[in-house]
Structure 1
């Protein structure tokens, strides 16, 4: 395990031709200049994905190894912490659109990301996905469709997550259930005798031991009062993770974790217990299983701080804020949508008028 400090600068690279800030081009390994078109290759990292020893960080935060100071803005409305870039285009929170005050920026240490999953689709494509979805919504407010026209409402965000690895071993006790069928006589509703087959379960005691490697248990590392990313869209192929390189962050907002490593580890332990229970059920066999006790042990625990891509679009309707999310890797979209009261009202009114006309014509006939 490499324990020496790692310093990965988050400073932006400038174009050698015009001096403008270079930004990452999603789906490539290039940095592009939006002004003169100059491109630069991102040099592939020769190091492997960094797994950090968990116990050391839980006890001492690694004596600040693998950590770095970054500039942050804290949203007082929803609680999100966002990394400030020199060319920060919009001083508004990505999640809730509340204004962020540049004078409130502060320095803070963070555990340096061990890996990043680069955006695979760009803002233009993400916005087209969102716009197509909005145009297909029934009873959507006109303001929502107008808002979908402006691509600036769709922002790219790197979201922080923890991943945990461990060797898992557990002893369990429970029961194995095997199905069997019996013929049962009964009287039907007509008073006639009949029979049917019913399934029963024969239970027998079971116990044993299971073990295996738990790989990349994914735990969300940030929380907000609003704008929470739904689980339905928070699905990424972690096999495409790249060793951390700040070049992939250029042109995007980066959110800092607000869920501490210790709290994330507790959530990972809950998931590890669920995994152990599934393994125990598989080991018991039969048609169904019951696990009454499980003694789980984890060793050789490691973790990574990783950044995962998401596009966020925010819309306010009648004082309520709605968030829409497009997965920056897969393009999957989800979100809570508002309804237009007047569109629904006039549709119902039109239906009632048509019914009244039909009834009137039928009486005259």
Structure 2
């Protein structure tokens, strides 16, 4: 294991055989390339595939160094993010809040090596095109918003840390099965000034006590592994396809920022256990059947638990409009975008005024 960790460290940076410049990952490919002379090399993938680690030894703090390494970290004092940035990265600014990072403040820290990475599928230029299209489709946006200034140096490709957990789940449950039936209920109503008695169908539920057992494999429960006090990654863009994960290779990280996990494995496991309980309840309801279900109690156990530390891609940037900064985020795999934006007061004002005028006209015509 120690030899493997040392091998990973030595592979972090690769130099171009032609000009000596650093080779960087080319999004959407399995190539690393030199941006100066165009030389390309293929990323050699491990034959073992994605590696799952046994959970219990790590939670017991045994063997936790067998799959770890030391990396240089920079801590943002403004927003708290911990980022690994290569020494030759052009712009030392925090990817979240854009505050300057001081290279002299860098420190070394151990981390559990990632077991998989989801490589970026497009480059920074494409992320700017997605931004431009997004801006043009915004409702109530100022007319000149499309002239918003994007600073390329503050658009960063960031690998976000996540934990994934696998386990065999077994649970026994007690609950109730609900089956719908309908009854005729009489009621009175007015028809042409006369009281008329009629009936309507109302739904009722017949509840039956039930109990049972469910079991199955819980695969890749995804748990966020870092805190963002400011500019948190929106849930809207967190829709990665984990089937496209690649076995971890440091070449995929070259040219990008990597955030270190700040949520410990132990806390991530607690969150995944809560997610497993939700899964157990869903399975129990499916097992109960009927039209509706109640789950009164669940006694769940997990076995054969494994985990991975994985890295997922997102572009983070900011744009200036009327002297104010707005942030946006682009999923580095799917291209989905989310961000904050300005609104045009006058567009909203005239739209509301237009709606009021329509309502007034309809009221006048109804008279």
Q: 2:255 corresponds to which residue?
A: 251
**Superposed counterparts of 1:19-34, under 5 Å:** 19-34=20-35
Q: TM-score, normalised by structure 2?
A: 0.89
1:64 CA displacement: 1.0
CA distance in 1, matches of 2:46, 2:60: 30
Going from structure 1 to structure 2, the CA distance change for 1:292 and 1:319 (only over 3 Å counts) comes to farther
Tell me, which stretches of 5 or more residues in structure 2 are unaligned? 358-367
Note if contact 2:95-2:154 (Cα within 8 Å) is conserved in structure 1: no
**Which residue of the partner structure matches residue 68 of structure 2?**
67
> Which residue, out of 282, 295, 301, partners 1:297?
301
SS in structure 1 opposite 2:258?
strand
**Partner of 2:85 in structure 1?**
84
User: Is this contact kept in 1: 2:157–2:313, CA < 8 A?
Assistant: yes
Separation in 2 of the partners of 1:56 and 1:338? Answer: 50
1:52 is matched with which residue? 53
Equivalent position to 1:234, from 238, 242, 249 = 238
Provide the rounded CA distance (Å) in 2 between the counterparts of 1:79 and 1:303.
26
2:18 partner SS: coil
Q: Tell me the residue number matched to 1:12.
A: 13
Aligned to 1:275, which of 261, 264, 279? 279
Structure 1 gap segments, 5+ residues each: 356-365
Distance 2:347 2:201 in 1: 53
1:37-85 per-position Cα deviation (integer Å, ceiling 9, x unaligned)? 1111111221221111111111115341100000011111111111020
Cα gap change, 1:27 to 1:19, in 2 (>3 Å): same
Moved more, 287-296 or 96-105: 96-105
Tell me the CA shift for residue 195 of structure 1: 1.1
Which whole-Å deviations, capped at 9, do the CAs of 1:79-101 have from their partners, x for residues lacking one? Answer: 11110202211111111111111
After superposition, the Cα gap between the structure-2 partners of 1:285 and 1:113, relative to the gap in structure 1 and judged at 3 Å, is: same
User: Which of 328, 331, 336 is 1:327 aligned to?
Assistant: 331
Q: Which moved more, 1:294-303 or 1:132-141?
A: 132-141
- C-alpha contact 1:67 1:112 (8 A) present in aligned 2: yes
CA offsets per residue over residues 304-351 of structure 1, 9 Å max, x none?
A: 000001111224668976431111111111122222446656x57997
Q: Is the 8 A contact 2:98 2:154 kept in 1?
A: no
What is the total number of aligned residue pairs between the two structures? 352
Q: CA RMSD in A?
A: 2.5
2:271 partner SS = helix
Is the alpha carbon distance of 1:198 and 1:344 closer, same or farther for their aligned partners in structure 2, counting shifts above 3 Å? Answer: closer
Could you tell me how far 1:106 is from its partner in structure 2? Answer: 0.7
1:36 aligns to 2:37 (yes or no): yes
Aligned-partner Cα distance in 1 for 2:250–2:317: 24
Residues 1-365 of structure 1 mapped to structure 2, 5 A cutoff: 6-7=5-6, 8-9=8-9, 11-60=12-61, 62-140=63-141, 145-190=146-191, 191-315=195-319, 322-341=326-345
Q: Does the aligned pair in 2 maintain the 1:24–1:31 contact within 8 Å?
A: yes
In structure 1, what is the Cα distance between the partners aligned to 2:278 and 2:2?
32
Q: CA deviation at 1:196?
A: 0.9
Give the conservation status (yes or no) of the 8 Å contact 1:144–1:315: no
Runs of 4+ in 1 over 3 A off after TM superposition: 2-7, 138-153, 315-322, 340-345, 347-352
